[in-house]
Structure 1
Amino acid sequence: MSNDKPLQADPLVWGHGKNVFEVFLEPTCPFSVRAFNKFDALLAEVGEDKVTLKIHLQSQPWHLYSGVIVRYILAASTLPEGKEAAKAVLKAVADHREEFEFTDHCAGPNMDATPNDILNRLESYSGINAREAFARPELQNVIKWHSKYSRQNGIHVSPTFMVNGLVQADIGSGDEISSWAKRIQG
């Protein structure tokens, strides 16, 4: 990726239906991981022609490497593979969550991990090398967009769900996929 070419992030959007299901995730949050792991099955159940699934990343300071991980995922979305590269990194974090999180948010083996260690793990587990895009200062504009969009919608925790632009406080990551499908289809 040439640094003279503008950085363009692929939106984290799957499906193309009229009903919009937006999910705000923090990649290392166990509840966000549980939600993320249901998305492919949800798209299959509802149908990509009936729902548009949008993932927004919600960095949270109590997940101590959240900012580094969110930046890498969004960097991956700027690669030629776009959202599929970002999804691969999200899946790598979901599948190896303990390698990216602290015990009780403040202790454990990751106390000795450096940001470069985290980047090495992200690349190793996902097979996605997004380091060049990660290092581009203008990537912060993509990160800020996700953050501003969350704040504008009153989102403070993850996962949070919206259906057709309205926050659904009673939808949770532990819900059955069929329950989500009913809410999406009205």
Structure 2
Amino acid sequence: MALQPSFQKALVIAGKYDAPHTIEVFLDYVCPFSAKLSLAIDSVLRPLFAPGGKYAGKVKVIFRNQVQPWHASSTFVHEAGLAVARIAPEDFWKFSLALFKVQGEYFDIPTSSLTPLQVREKLAKLVADTVGQDKAAGFQDLLALKSSPNGGTAVTDDLKYTVKFSRQNGIHVSPTVLWDGLIANEVSSSWGEKEWTEFLEKKVTV
């Protein structure tokens, strides 16, 4: 498991960073199956890995941004998530859940008539509504285009990191789940408490 230091507070979305077992979930904000899995993470896994939970201190969950470029808005929504990870790391998962719940607004057809700036303005409103109005200005600053014609934004390097990480590890589809660094093909976005409980009983060895 590798995670650059600036992401450690935000992208470890369940459990403690030093937990020996690691679940990595590669999710795309505009993927319906990723949205399904996010609900299971929130309702099933987070309680199990929280203080007092059955696997507290034993397993952690890392969110991996999985940009799917065949959806034009995927880059913009993941930029938004990474910007929130910078300005409000403690609210990254809260924002991610909120974005998953309204993901249909960022699908291909709803965004086809919007400019990139309009998509980012829409995401800034979601930040204000979910993370706080006081964070919206900082969010917009991070997503402001640099003065050079092709310079990207302040989170472009973070976006590159996430894309390169997926590429070098051969991750293609969303969602993809890794257990201790290896792809767990058996994991399904439709899993509920029963399936996850059985999986963890087999896998947790500490």
Counterpart code for 2:104: E
Q: Deviations over 1:34-55 (max 9, x none)?
A: 1112212212134342210000
Counterpart code for 2:92: A
Aligned to 2:140: 131
Gaps of 5+ in 1: 1-7, 103-107
Aligned to 1:76: 84
CA-CA distance at 1:113 after TM superposition: 1.4
TM-score (normalised: structure 2): 0.75
Aligned to 2:115: 114
CA-CA distance at 1:11 after TM superposition: 4.1
Query: Conserved in 1, the CA contact under 8 Å of 2:22 and 2:179?
Result: yes
Aligned to 1:105: none
Aligned to 1:5: none
Identity of aligned residues (%): 28
TM-score (normalised: structure 1): 0.83
Residues 181 and 165 (structure 1 numbering): CA distance in 2 closer, same or farther, change over 3 Å?
farther
Secondary structure at the counterpart of residue 174 of structure 1? coil
Aligned to 1:12: 11
After superposition, residues 18-97 of structure 1 pair within 5 angstroms as 18-41=20-43, 42-46=45-49, 47=53, 48-79=56-87, 81-82=88-89, 84-97=90-103
Q: Deviations over 1:125-144 (max 9, x none)?
A: 33242111223645222111
Residues 111 and 138 (structure 1 numbering): CA distance in 2 closer, same or farther, change over 3 Å?
closer
Gaps of 5+ in 2: 1-5, 147-152
Query: Conserved in 2, the CA contact under 8 Å of 1:20 and 1:184?
Result: no
Find the aligned partners of 2:36 and 2:111 in 1 and give their Cα distance: 22
Find the aligned partners of 1:43 and 1:153 in 2 and give their Cα distance: 25
Find the aligned partners of 1:28 and 1:92 in 2 and give their Cα distance: 12
Q: Deviations over 1:93-134 (max 9, x none)?
A: 2111111112xxxxx332211222222222223324211122
Counterpart code for 1:132: D
Pair 1:178-2:180 in alignment: no
